[in-house]
Chains A and B, each alone.
Chain A
Amino acid sequence: MTNFEKVVEIMQENRNVDPSLVKPETTFAELGLDSLDMVELVMAMEEKYGCALEMTADIKTVGDVAQLLGA
């Protein structure tokens, strides 16, 4: 599973987002998600994958969050 797929899976589980709407360049704003939703997603990812993700102010797209998960 790629990092992008992991993010999309969590978005579906946690925020009820339809995976068919999500591409790496899709912004959270386009999906109707705000900064609080993003924090929810990051917490869900940290708990599922046991990692620590550094959120920065320039996260805009789903691909940006996938990059946080690293290689």
Chain B
Amino acid sequence: MIKTRLCDLLGIEHPVFQGGMAWVANASLAAAVSNAGGLGIIGAMSAPAQWVKEEIAKVREKTSKPFAVNIMLMSPHAGDIARTVIEEHVPIVTTGAGNPAQYMKAWIAAGIKVVPVVASVGIARYVEKRGAIAVVAEGCEAGGHIGDLTTMVLVPQVVDAVKMPVVAAGGIADGRGLAAALMLGASGVQMGTRFLTAAECTIHPNYKQRILAAQDIDTLATGRRLGHPVRALKTPLTVRFAKAEFDSALTNEEVESIGAGALRIAVQEGDNERGCFMAGQCAGLVKCEQTAEEIITQIFSEAEALFKDQKPWLM
């Protein structure tokens, strides 16, 4: 059994987080991952606090194990949700797309364990100093909002710079990725794309099919011009967005409007033309639909086998 200090710290059996994916990471998926011994995460995205409250209640109906809420700091409701997690006694909060400093004092005072998602060493050090219990260091192989550095270079540099446990994210979809992350010094991994095809993941079947069919070169990062790049599968929409980014005749607002609402369309309607199917570069590694428990069992047994017998690597 692979155990790390993250397990005791958060009260989880296996050191794996399920990413707090917008429109995807609802109570169904989060509860399944938590019940399987990982850390299930509700993605609060840009939803109002009431929706988050309802999802928290649904998770609690399905599991008594620890779970987390991911707060997207660019959300217009971030302040409300920051209060909701305190009122609802959510045990763990992860944060994304920004600097959570303004909320951390109140969360920590309320006994919430805070695990920010970071894309640089500086922000990891900054949040550690302010009481973060761990960080997720996410490389740009990931889907959704991304930074600039790759997982391979970001994780060991964050590990060297902080004392708290580091969770590696971005590009990890199987036991090899898990083993590699642990070798880089991580205490666990976060996976998003691999859980997109979990049986308990309620996204449209077309979305799952697209992930299962994806190859290595099938994702595209767009939005650098707007200052918040996003990785998704190459589709007519993302290709149009990428072209618009280089069109100096268009304003930033016009470019932004091309992607408005497109993730919801992908998740709920599965529309191949109008949808934005967010996914990481590891989509090409995702080959079948399995339950969350099967996914977790498989990646940990693969990693254990690799640690036991390193011969596949060495002559």
**Taking beta carbons and an 8 Å cutoff, which residues of A are in contact with B?**
34-36, 39-40, 42-43, 46, 52, 54-57
Q: Is B119 located at the chain interface by the 8 A CB criterion?
A: yes
Task: Write out the residue numbers on chain B whose beta carbons fall within 8 Å of the beta carbon of A40.
Answer: 120, 122
Instruction: State which of B94-102, B280-288, B293-301 sits at the interface with chain A.
Output: B94-102
Query: Per a CB cutoff under 8 Å, which of B101, B102, B122, B129 touches A36?
Result: B122
Residue pair B99, A39 in contact (C-beta under 8 Å): yes
Assembled-state Cα–Cα distance A55/B102 (Å): 7
Residue pair A55, B101 in contact (C-beta under 8 Å): yes
**Taking beta carbons and an 8 Å cutoff, which residues of B are in contact with A?**
98-99, 101-102, 119-120, 122-123, 125-126, 129, 147, 227
Task: Write out the residue numbers on chain B whose beta carbons fall within 8 Å of the beta carbon of A56.
Answer: 102
Residue pair A34, B122 in contact (C-beta under 8 Å): no
| Residue of A36, A42, A46 with highest tally of chain B CB at under 10 A | A36
6 A-B pairs with the lowest CB-CB distances in the bound complex, closest first: A40-B122, A39-B122, A36-B120, A39-B123, A39-B126, A55-B101
Query: Per a CB cutoff under 8 Å, which of A34, A52, A55 touches B227?
Result: A34
Within the complex, the shortest CB–CB distance from B147 to chain A, in Å, comes to 8
Task: Write out the residue numbers on chain B whose beta carbons fall within 8 Å of the beta carbon of A46.
Answer: 129
Q: Which residue of B is nearest A54, CB measured?
A: B101
Residue pair B123, A36 in contact (C-beta under 8 Å): yes
Q: Which residue of A is nearest B124, CB measured?
A: A39
Within the complex, the shortest CB–CB distance from B190 to chain A, in Å, comes to 20
Assembled-state Cα–Cα distance A57/B99 (Å): 8
Assembled-state Cα–Cα distance A34/B147 (Å): 12
In the complex, besides A36-B119, A55-B101, 13 extra interface pairs with C-beta distance below 8 angstroms are A35-B98, A36-B120, A36-B122, A36-B123, A36-B147, A39-B122, A39-B126, A43-B125, A43-B129, A55-B102, A55-B126, A57-B99, A57-B102
Assembled-state Cα–Cα distance A36/B129 (Å): 16
Residue pair B227, A43 in contact (C-beta under 8 Å): no
Task: Write out the residue numbers on chain A whose beta carbons fall within 8 Å of the beta carbon of B101.
Answer: 54-55
Residue pair B126, A42 in contact (C-beta under 8 Å): yes
Task: Write out the residue numbers on chain B whose beta carbons fall within 8 Å of the beta carbon of A35.
Answer: 98-99
Assembled-state Cα–Cα distance A54/B126 (Å): 10
Within the complex, the shortest CB–CB distance from B78 to chain A, in Å, comes to 10
| Residue of A34, A39, A42, A57 with highest tally of chain B CB at under 10 A | A39
Within the complex, the shortest CB–CB distance from B19 to chain A, in Å, comes to 21
Task: Write out the residue numbers on chain B whose beta carbons fall within 8 Å of the beta carbon of A52.
Answer: 129
Task: Write out the residue numbers on chain A whose beta carbons fall within 8 Å of the beta carbon of B129.
Answer: 43, 46, 52
Task: Write out the residue numbers on chain A whose beta carbons fall within 8 Å of the beta carbon of B125.
Answer: 43
Known: A34-B227, A36-B119, A39-B123. Is A54-B102 also a contact (CB below 8 A)?
Answer: yes
Assembled-state Cα–Cα distance A35/B126 (Å): 13
Within the complex, the shortest CB–CB distance from A37 to chain B, in Å, comes to 8
Residue pair B102, A43 in contact (C-beta under 8 Å): no
Assembled-state Cα–Cα distance A29/B203 (Å): 38
Within the complex, the shortest CB–CB distance from A67 to chain B, in Å, comes to 16
Assembled-state Cα–Cα distance A52/B122 (Å): 15
Assembled-state Cα–Cα distance A36/B98 (Å): 9
Assembled-state Cα–Cα distance A40/B102 (Å): 17
Task: Write out the residue numbers on chain B whose beta carbons fall within 8 Å of the beta carbon of A55.
Answer: 99, 101-102, 126
* A-B CB contact pairs (8 Å), 24 listed: A34-B227, A35-B98, A35-B99, A36-B119, A36-B123, A36-B147, A39-B99, A39-B122, A39-B123, A40-B120, A40-B122, A42-B126, A43-B122, A43-B125, A43-B126, A43-B129, A46-B129, A52-B129, A54-B101, A55-B102, A55-B126, A57-B98, A57-B99, A57-B102
